Structure 1
């Protein structure tokens, strides 16, 4: 089998990859937050966003 040399990725591909990485971090944060028992507290989007921001700092 021969290798295909596609060259450097286009700027659009880099933007898409970054968006996909951010989406995956947000999904991981959502899974983490919703799997925990918060008692009577209702988790909202800003809570998930804060966890995602923390995870992004850890994974960067």
Structure 2
């Protein structure tokens, strides 16, 4: 299989990549929060806190 080297990313590509990563992180957090029966409907704050937790683990 041939390896393709795209070279340096443009500023726009870096911004898009960052946005996609944040979206994937938020989706993962939403899935984690809504996958369990917590006895109450989770709100956006719960999802954001889980996303922050996942982001912290991703940064290490």
Shift of 1:37: 1.0
C-alpha spacing 1:42/1:16, structure 2 compared with 1 (3 Å): same
- 1:29 matched residue in structure 2: 29
Shift of 1:42: 1.6
- Name stretches of at least 5 consecutive residues in structure 2 with no aligned partner: none
Deviating above 4 A after TM superposition, structure 1's stretches of 4 or more consecutive aligned residues are 1-5
Give the greater-gyration-radius structure (CA): 1
C-alpha spacing 1:58/1:4, structure 2 compared with 1 (3 Å): closer
Normalising by structure 2, what TM-score?
0.85
Query: Within 2, Cα distance between the matches of 1:26 and 1:47?
Result: 11
- How many pairs are equivalent? 59
Q: CA RMSD in A?
A: 1.7
- Name stretches of at least 5 consecutive residues in structure 1 with no aligned partner: none
